[in-house]
Structure 1
Amino acid sequence: MGKRIYVEIPVSAPMDRLWHLTQDLSCHSRWDLRFSRIIPTNAAEPLTFRYEFRLPFHTIHGTGTSLGTRTGVQGHATSVLKFTTADPLSPIGPGAGYWRYVPDGKRTRFITGYDYSPGWGRLGRWLDAPLIRPALGWATAWSFDRLRLWAEEGLAPERTRNAWLLDAGARAAAVAAAVTLCAVRPGPAAGLAAGSAVAAACLAPARREVPRAARCLRRARDGKTGVAPSSLASLKEPA
């Protein structure tokens, strides 16, 4: 296990809507970049499910169990999860995590914390801290902002994904054009123009419909939200 991944975002939407978009598995896989498909395997509690993550030439399969609870004081809610996979190509192995729903005035603080054992054997342990764990943290935060846009503004996850792809493509094209300019016409003027183009590509604010991981907090604001609910310890292990 490494440093736990923590992500938090405020969502200005009713709790019922946020609960539905996160607890309904067909909705969950639409906004969460970490899953391509989630299939329930029972209708009882705790819920058991299979999940898929599609790569270009392979689909990673795994299983999980989860339990959501809305009986907390002052409208608080929690959801806990355990997951595992036997797929040798998965960069992550068995793990566990939680969601917290914390009312905050007219908003809800939507929070996750999770950890896992690296996959890929010794190579995975070596790559986890510098590469895999930061990439998963970014994917989680980006997904949380995509969820926020869906819950607050009704923007479908497919639309916001496409908006992000167009935005990223435009920024990449600006950087490529700047590099090409320096190569074709070297000199101070070209360097200044190229630097300005790169700065604009990196610093220009994204449109409101473009999900951004930077809109999320990556550290717990208090001791309670950074700790898993007690129900996680008693949740059964996935098959």
Structure 2
Amino acid sequence: MGLYIEAHIRADMDDLWTRTQTPSEHQRWDLRFTEIDYLPRAQDEPQRFRYATRVLPFVTVSGTGVAAGERERPDGTRTSALRFASPHPLSLLKEGSGYWRYVPEGDGVRFITGYDYQPRWGRFGRVADRLLFRPLMVWATAWSFDRLRLWLERGITPERALWNWIAELAFRVAVLVTAVTGLGLGPLARYTPPLYYLFPQLLLVAACMAVFKAHLSCVPSARRCVRRAPARARAPRLMRALETPR
């Protein structure tokens, strides 16, 4: 698959399955979706769903999908697969497919996703996807996985985790702006010799810490997830049986 994200979550398999397979729970931690609803279905049919994402305060794009899951496998792993499509003209994602894989490992579960999609808008869409949208989707997926991890491991709700992230981001921006602005005050430090030599170095250290310092343990971070697929990674067979929704 084109995009790959992996996180190790120290949690019970059933709890992780519930938080990811229940629409009302899923939409709380996944930054990519604002709303997810299951649609009525016959007992022997794959589960169809509707999703929506708010891209601007008054603009929401929506689409439909079909999903199937294997709750139990002989090796202890679980897998769910889906195909999705959006007819909305403002949605860059035309259609795509993906999977979630749950692998028991040590004191938790290795939670993996792989997915890919076809962009619309012709050549412009392909360029915008490669330069902007696809990296954004990788970051949003990894960030959401870590927010899910905080929920399961530490009881930090997705809503609280988002506010933690916003607060830390605001602090980092304030430090960075202060450091950059302070460079213009360098000449004032010549009247106090010790500061004259240390002032630029201190500002540089502050700016670097604002950009590169690891996030607090209570703040979701995409850096904590694996974002490069191993050579052995491949899509599950379950996905081949699903039709692309129209």
| TM-score of the two chains, using structure 2 as the length reference | 0.90
- Residues 33-72 of structure 1 aligned to structure 2 (within 5 Å): 33-43=31-41, 44=43, 45-56=45-56, 57-72=58-73
Structure 2 distance, partners of 1:99, 1:222, is 17
For the pair shown, the structure with the greater C-alpha radius of gyration is 2
Residue 74 of structure 1 aligns to a residue whose secondary structure is coil
What amino acid is the match of 2:8?
P
1:237 corresponds to: 244
Tell me the CA shift for residue 188 of structure 1: 6.2
Structure 2 distance, partners of 1:93, 1:32, is 20
Contact 1:92 1:119 in 2 (8 A): yes
2:167 corresponds to: 166
- Residues 201-216 of structure 1 aligned to structure 2 (within 5 Å): 201-216=210-225
Range with greater deviation from structure 2 (19-28 or 113-122): 113-122
Tell me the CA shift for residue 185 of structure 1: 3.5
Tell me the CA shift for residue 209 of structure 1: 1.1
Tell me the CA shift for residue 104 of structure 1: 0.9
Tell me the CA shift for residue 130 of structure 1: 1.9
In 2 relative to 1, CA 188–238 (structure 1 residues): closer, same or farther, beyond 3 Å?
Answer: farther
Structure 2 distance, partners of 1:172, 1:46, is 46
In 2 relative to 1, CA 83–188 (structure 1 residues): closer, same or farther, beyond 3 Å?
Answer: farther
What amino acid is the match of 1:231?
L
**Residue 140 of structure 2 corresponds to residue 142 of structure 1:** no
**Residue 202 of structure 2 corresponds to residue 193 of structure 1:** yes
Tell me the CA shift for residue 96 of structure 1: 0.2
1:179-199 Cα deviation digits (max 9, x unpaired): 111134358654322211111
2:12 corresponds to: 14
Residue 32 of structure 2 aligns to a residue whose secondary structure is coil
- Residues 55-204 of structure 1 aligned to structure 2 (within 5 Å): 55-56=55-56, 57-185=58-186, 189-204=198-213
Contact 1:11 1:107 in 2 (8 A): yes
Tell me the CA shift for residue 165 of structure 1: 0.7
Residue 245 of structure 2 aligns to a residue whose secondary structure is coil
Structure 2 distance, partners of 1:101, 1:126, is 33
Tell me the CA shift for residue 233 of structure 1: 0.7
What amino acid is the match of 1:73?
P
Q: What do you get for the CA RMSD once the two structures are aligned? A: 1.6
Structure 2 distance, partners of 1:221, 1:94, is 25
1:187-224 Cα deviation digits (max 9, x unpaired): 8654322211111212333221100001001123451x
Residue 207 of structure 1 aligns to a residue whose secondary structure is coil
Residue 75 of structure 2 aligns to a residue whose secondary structure is helix
Structure 2 distance, partners of 1:237, 1:139, is 24
Unaligned runs of 5+ in 1: none
Residue 75 of structure 1 aligns to a residue whose secondary structure is coil
Structure 2 distance, partners of 1:188, 1:124, is 50
Extract structure 1 runs of 4+ deviating beyond 6 A: none
Of the three residues 1, 4, 18, the one matched with 2:2 is 4
Identity %: 45
Range with greater deviation from structure 2 (14-23 or 119-128): 119-128
**Residue 237 of structure 2 corresponds to residue 227 of structure 1:** no
